[in-house]
Amino acid sequence: MTDSAALPRSVVIARRLQVLEMEAAIQRTQLAATFAQWQQPALMTWITTAAKMAGGMLATPTARWVLTALLLRLVRGRR
């Protein structure tokens, strides 16, 4: 590869633009793959199950009392 100082500025800028475009394409592909993985039914089922369990725990009076007491303690501690 030739030294970038010997190349005209327009060539250096064009090469940098190509590299940035390639990196952007790679990032878009990775992001699309990540979104596809998140949309898998097994993952959504796990998240739904965890949310139902959390909702079920908060439905009990003891859990609500403990959560309320914790929040009040945090609020009072800041004063």
Cα–Cα distance, 66 to 58 (Å, whole number): 10
pLDDT reported for residue 18: 95
pLDDT reported for residue 79: 56
CA distances from 7 to 2, 3, 16, 69 (A): 8, 7, 13, 69
If asked whether residues 45 and 23 sit together in one domain, one would say no
pTM for this one?
Answer: 0.43
If asked whether residues 70 and 50 sit together in one domain, one would say yes
pLDDT in tens, the chain (79 residues): 556 568 899 999 999 999 999 999 999 999 998 888 877 777 778 888 988 888 888 788 888 888 888 888 888 876 5
If asked whether residues 4 and 35 sit together in one domain, one would say yes
If asked whether residues 34 and 47 sit together in one domain, one would say no
pLDDT reported for residue 1: 52
Cα–Cα distance, 64 to 69 (Å, whole number): 9
The first and second tokens of residue 33, run together, are 């793959």
Range of the domain at 7: 1-39
Domain count for the chain, please give it: 2
